[in-house]
Structure 1
Amino acid sequence: MARPVPREQPATLQADSLTPQKPVRPRIASVARVFGLIAGFGLLVLATRLWRPEAPDSLLQRAQDAYRAGQHDLAESLLDRLARIREPNPLDRLLRAQVALATDRPEAALDELSRIPDDHPIAPISRLLQGQVAIRLGRAVQAESSFLRAIELQPRHVQARRELCFIYSIQRRLRDLDLQLAALAELGELTPSYVLHWSKIRNVNWNYEKDLEHLRRFVAEDPTDRRSRLTLAEAIKRSGDLAEADRLLAPLPRSDPEAAALRASIAIERGDLNAASEALVEAPPDHPAVARSLGEIALIRLDPETALPSLRIAVRHDPSDRLSLFLLGRALSLLGRDEEAAPILETVRQNDLLGQMIAQASAKATIDDPELCLEIGLACQRLSRPLEARAWFDIALLIDPFHERAQEALALLDDGQPPLETTP
């Protein structure tokens, strides 16, 4: 039997066998790309979360911590980052000012502080800091304005009142000083050293040398600072340099009453009464400083009748001014009106006794004698200075809370009664 001849495969099968298969590798690569895109997106989301800007409050806290640690460059860098996130707010500006001060940039500090509005809770401390920077720069007028604004915003602002006491003491503005010291007393913030200063400035000769540096700086920094200019001219006059005192007064108008009175005083020192009278021509005669000068000139000319009205004006304005009282008492004595002169000259004597007691208290390292404090208080009360008297009674009781005479003196003062008799 013949072997069967093999059949040819159908063409279709041959065609199928020759058709190329799809490669496996490109398919895998495509899948990998998809997963890669997904992974990349996930990393992008994660990175976005990780690189999210720091919260402003956190940046401010870090900047504050850096400032407290003395890392001023870091604090400023953090504040710059904060400024790129938001407009600086008052807290940011206060810290910027503090950093500027720490890096010796007072002008930048003043600029930042000036941008803090008065209606923000930190405005009182900002105005205080403004004043402190200004006084450091020798700008007394600007400093006073800032301290007064701080007190307007916060009437119990103790430090602002103390700063004003410094300015008013340097400038010899006794009435303004009285107001601030009385306010400190009302707040219970009048320390023994401040009470002593309160009495010294009125009753002990002015040690002008210690104030000259401040006064010169104030005038050099701000030539329009009238108060400092007047006080500096007075100090220079007392030093004996009358020409320099005149030069300092030159920018002030002839109608300025206090400048006119000081020009008259300089002329009296030179023995030129005509020039002294001429200096007062354009000034208001009823101003107390001008009135006292007019009275003094008349007395030097032995004309007490003419002196009397002017000296009464001066004393009426300030009954505690020793020189005005002395001149008025002398004018009355020259007119033979000894009975009228006697109580006025007794007040002068009481002023001098108070000055001696104040000098005695100043010589002590600490104020620790309740009897001396009581006697000073009684002297102040007799001179119609009740707020000052109360301050001294308070010190006596601070030293000895059971001091009976101090307790009694304070009670009489509160009741508006005459003072205790002084112990022999």
Structure 2
Amino acid sequence: MSVKPRRPGRRLVRVRIGLASVAGLIVLIRWGLAPSDDRRWEAIEQSVRRQQWGDAERRLAAWVDRHPEDARAWLLRGQALGGLGRDDEARAALRRIPEHDPAWPQAQIGLGTLAMQRHDRIEAERAFRAVIEREPDAIEPKVRLLGLLLIQRRQEEARALLWDVFRRSGDPRQLVSLTNIALEDRHQEIFRDLAGDGDRLRGELEPYLDRSPDDPWLRRARGLLRLEQGDPAGALADLEFANRVMDDDPAARLALADCRLMLGDPEQAIAALGPRPDRPIDQARWWILRGLVEQDRRRIDEAISCFQAAVEADPEHLGARYRLGRALVRAGRSEEAGPVLDQAGAIRDRMIALKTRLDGGLDDPRNAEACVQLARLCLESRMPVEARAWFAHASRVDPFHREAQEAIARLGEMAPAAPRPPRLRTGPADRPENAATSGISSKATAARFVDEASSRGLIFSYDSGAQGDLFIADMMGGGVGLIDFDNDGWLDVYLVNGCPLPVDPGRPPAPNRLF
């Protein structure tokens, strides 16, 4: 019996081929099971849409480990972290997005929204204005900034911003708001009695003041609001402070004069009035306050002259007409008073009719006739800019509406008035009278330092760029320079930032800042 000899190495070859096949099969299985980047990203977007923030953050953390330069991932991660209440981490994620990236505007809006949630007025305003400067046509940052301005009672800036939003969007709801603001501005004495609205505004303002109690814009807003709610004693200190730190602010000046008059100090009220304002509505208030001072002095003829000047400045001002009529009655000139009080009643009826229609809203924004009715009421109330805007909207809805077309032709091109909004003075502001620490003698000579960086807008975050191995520049910091950059006699502040070392041209450092 013969034995067939084996071929040497055949079994070894078979084993090697078998192992290679198994390894290849494992690779194929892994390749088939592991999701591609597209599938991973779809899962991330799905979690974000469903607001499953924990799952989204876990997936995004893994994603940015693999793609650390993906700005859209950092944007979504900031949103997810914010949804989880991890605001510090959310801000750090959003700040990773460089200014040249298309996602930067949305990152700034996110940072501004987070700042509003922690009631940081300055940081929120900075973020929204940065986006508006870069993208003038963007609506979202303007709407968010608008809410912030209204909380601060910065009505003129808010109105100008809202007109801009309306021009770009054509949304009639914004025109409803604009008409309401104009109506309430003229008839503040009537609308200040709406206590519910005042309580809401105070509730929105107080958390910002808790964070920044010396912010001049917030103190100004609190003073105006307290006066509107009938608390002149509580408003006085804030209004005095606002008048010291603001540059030509008619609203604050007139409010301070009114406050002093309500507290029984007519002489100080006259001193607070200052020069006559430019805007007709403000001129009417200015003359009314002067008339009330003359009335307090029992100089009825002088008071009547002031109230007449108020009516001439703004003929549709209900308070001016009413006070003139009452003063004429007290002077025994009832025949003259009758027509004046009748006109006051007619103004009140027009105001109520317009307010009622505005509060009813526009059930159908494509109802041209409803828009024309609002336009007529605005014209009767001497609000021609708002009237023309309503006629124009009616014409867009119905291009063949004859009355709207004729009114537009008759009124011509009109632009809303743009009075200069108040600004903080550039020089050092006087300290409020109660700022001194109690218990320190007035003769004390020791220096006292007050941290006013936030209230002055001096906000800067230094990033050393340290990444583990410390370089000497990481440990020494960036530094600060004090120079008179604009030659106005006051020192300006230049703050220097850091960056990761060695320098990566693809990841530019955070910017230096000049204040």
TM-score by length of 1: 0.69
Give the 3-state SS of the residue equivalent to 2:317 in structure 1.
Answer: helix
Give matches, 1:176-255, under 5 Å. 176-192=157-173, 193-204=176-187, 205-206=191-192, 207-242=197-232, 244-246=234-236, 254-255=244-245
Distance (Å, rounded) in 2 between the aligned partners of 1:346 and 1:242: 29
1:323 to 270, 285, 292: 285
For 1:55-93, what per-residue CA distance to the aligned partner results, in whole angstroms no more than 9, with x for missing partners?
Answer: 444422321123223443332222222123221421001
In structure 2, the residue matched to 1:285 is none
Aligned to 1:299: none
Deviation of 1:147 (Å): 2.0
2:157 counterpart letter in structure 1: D
Give the 3 Å change call, closer, same or farther, for CA 36–351 of structure 1 in structure 2.
farther
Match of 2:425 in 1: none
Match of 2:89 in 1: 108
In the TM superposition, what is the alpha-carbon distance from 1:231 to its structure 2 partner?
0.8
Question: 2-side partners of 1:252 and 1:324: how far apart?
Answer: 18
CA distance in 2, matches of 1:261, 1:158: 33
Report if the CA contact (8 A) 1:185-1:391 is conserved. no
Deviations 1:72-119 (A, max 9, x none): 333222222212322142100111122223323333333322322232
Over the residues paired in the alignment, what is the CA RMSD in angstroms? Answer: 4.0
Partner of 1:410: 408
* Kept after mapping to 1: 8 A contact 2:281/2:314: no
Q: Partners of 2:411 and 2:253 in 1: how far apart?
A: 40
Matched residue of 1:39: which SS? helix
- Give the SS at the match of 2:281: coil
- Taking the aligned partners of 1:34 and 1:120, their CA distance within structure 2 comes to 56
C-alpha separation in 1, matches of 2:210 and 2:272? 34
* Post-superposition offset of 1:238: 3.3
Identity of aligned residues (%): 21
Q: Partner amino acid for 2:357?
A: A
Q: CA deviation at 1:212?
A: 0.9
CA contact (8 A) 1:393 1:406 kept: yes
The question of whether the paired residues in 1 share the 8 Å contact of 2:354 and 2:374 is answered with: no
Contact 1:161/1:180 (<8 A) preserved: yes
Residue 187 of structure 1 aligns to a residue whose secondary structure is: helix
Please state if 1:141 is matched with 2:122: yes
Higher helix residue share = 1
Extract unaligned runs of 5+ from structure 2: 295-299, 319-346, 364-368, 415-515
User: CA distance change for structure 1 residues 130 and 400 in 2, over 3 Å: closer, same or farther?
Assistant: same
Gaps in structure 1 of 5+ consecutive residues:
1-20, 278-292, 297-309, 417-424
Deviation at 1:144, TM superposition (A): 2.3
Summarize deviations over 1:311-348 as a string: whole Å, max 9, x none: 43x2x2x333241354578899966996x985751443
Matches within 5 A, 1:17-416: 31-48=10-27, 50-51=29-30, 55-192=36-173, 193-204=176-187, 205-206=191-192, 207-242=197-232, 244-246=234-236, 254-256=244-246, 265-272=258-265, 276=268, 294=271, 296=273, 310-312=274-276, 314=277, 316=278, 318-321=279-282, 322-324=284-286, 326-327=288-289, 344-352=310-318, 353=347, 355-364=351-360, 366=362, 369-370=370-371, 372-379=373-380, 382=382, 386=385, 388-397=386-395, 402-414=400-412
The question of whether the paired residues in 2 share the 8 Å contact of 1:195 and 1:391 is answered with: no
**How many angstroms apart in 1 are the aligned matches of 2:77 and 2:154?**
35
Aligned counterparts of 1:396 and 1:334: Cα–Cα separation in 2: 47
Q: Distance in 1 between matches of 2:214 and 2:18?
A: 72
Amino acid at match of 1:160: P
Rg: which structure is higher?
1
One-letter amino acid matched to 1:350: E
Instruction: With the length of structure 2 as denominator, give the TM-score of the two structures.
Output: 0.58
